[in-house]
Amino acid sequence: MKAKFFGALILLFVTLSVIDAADAATGFEKHFEVGKTYLVNQKFEMALKEFNQALLLSPNNASILVERGTAFNGLEKYDQAIKDFSSALKVAPDTSLAFNNRGVAYLRMGQYAQAIKDLDRAAALNPKDPVAYLNRAGASMCCGQGLASADKLASWLGAVNWKSDFAGHAAVLAALGYRQGNQPKKAKEILDTALIRTDKLKWPHPALRYLSSTIKGKELLEEAESSDYDTTQAHYFIAQNLILNKDSKQAKLHLDWIVGHGVRNSVEYWIARGLVNSPVK
């Protein structure tokens, strides 16, 4: 009788343990999904609270660490963001998003060499994803090394056969990178191709026309005025073009506008901020 009773206790303990584990998994997923929703809506403090709860239920979970690090990036707490991304990479070394987002943290901190290193790793792990290439272009433009990123963007455009919503953006940054690297012929070639192969009715087609000298900067800003994101980009494209034409005084007006009014989740905002803080000679 005692033996049967003891066995029943063991069975009950095991059953309860399974239920507790299932509840923990459900709780983790709920906090994780809610946190991601907050993150998408740029409610970073709320996202952080949810990811903290998720990590209590699923410690050392690489996916949660990457998302929490992204929330820290949004709050400009870069040391904590980098710590989370690095912890995620210890658990899952081939996580391209962790490399990309850690690269973004380094870019925002002005540590461009480290940013480029991480962003190259992200691109190698996920070669068809344009985000790492675009972020790399930002870091390289800030330190006067746009040529290497221009070649990488051109290679990516060829690899995806220009079939991407980011093709126009990539072409603009590639053209600016080629110009920074004193390769005007390559800049013209990629602009000419982009004018044909990207949608003429969508942004940033007007920026391609601006860099091809068919519209003025004022017209570019008018084309962008319905979107804060597009306006941020337009001011940067004009500023960078002015810098390359040795008109740093006028360029600074556009850079200052971006730092004061630009959309912070745009790579162009952070390029502008980097150029204001440490102008490329």
Considering the domain architecture, whether residues 118 and 228 belong to the same structural domain is answered as no
Say how many C-beta atoms besides its own lie within 10 A of residue 40's C-beta: 9
Residue with tokens 């912890």: 87
- CATH number for 74: 1.25.40.10
Considering the domain architecture, whether residues 230 and 182 belong to the same structural domain is answered as yes
Domain boundary residue among 93, 126, 159? 126
pLDDT tens digits, one per residue of 222-256: 999 999 999 999 999 999 999 999 999 999 999 99
pLDDT tens digits, one per residue of 148-159: 999 999 999 999
pLDDT at 23: 52
Considering the domain architecture, whether residues 91 and 158 belong to the same structural domain is answered as no
Considering the domain architecture, whether residues 241 and 165 belong to the same structural domain is answered as yes
The band of 281, judged by pLDDT with boundaries at 50, 70 and 90, is low
Say how many C-beta atoms besides its own lie within 10 A of residue 128's C-beta: 9
The band of 277, judged by pLDDT with boundaries at 50, 70 and 90, is confident
With a CB cutoff of 8 Å and minimum separation 6, the contacts of 51 are: 31, 32, 35, 64, 67, 68, 71
Domain extent, residue 71, equals 1-126
* Percent of the chain residues topping a pLDDT of 90: 88
Considering the domain architecture, whether residues 135 and 251 belong to the same structural domain is answered as yes
Considering the domain architecture, whether residues 23 and 6 belong to the same structural domain is answered as yes
Considering the domain architecture, whether residues 97 and 162 belong to the same structural domain is answered as no
Arithmetic mean of pLDDT over the chain: 91
Considering the domain architecture, whether residues 222 and 268 belong to the same structural domain is answered as yes
Count how many domains the chain has: 2
Considering the domain architecture, whether residues 132 and 179 belong to the same structural domain is answered as yes
Domain boundary residue among 126, 145, 176? 126
Considering the domain architecture, whether residues 178 and 117 belong to the same structural domain is answered as no
Exposure string of 156-176, with b = 16+ CB inside 10 Å and e = fewer, is: bbeeeebebebbbbbbbbbbb
3-state DSSP percent of the chain in helix, strand and coil, to 5: 80, 0, 20
pLDDT reading at 187 higher than 90: yes
CA–CA separation, 179 and 170 (whole Å)? 14
Considering the domain architecture, whether residues 19 and 90 belong to the same structural domain is answered as yes
Considering the domain architecture, whether residues 116 and 133 belong to the same structural domain is answered as no
pLDDT tens digits, one per residue of 76-119: 999 999 999 999 999 999 999 999 999 999 999 999 999 999 99
Domain boundary residue among 91, 126, 161? 126
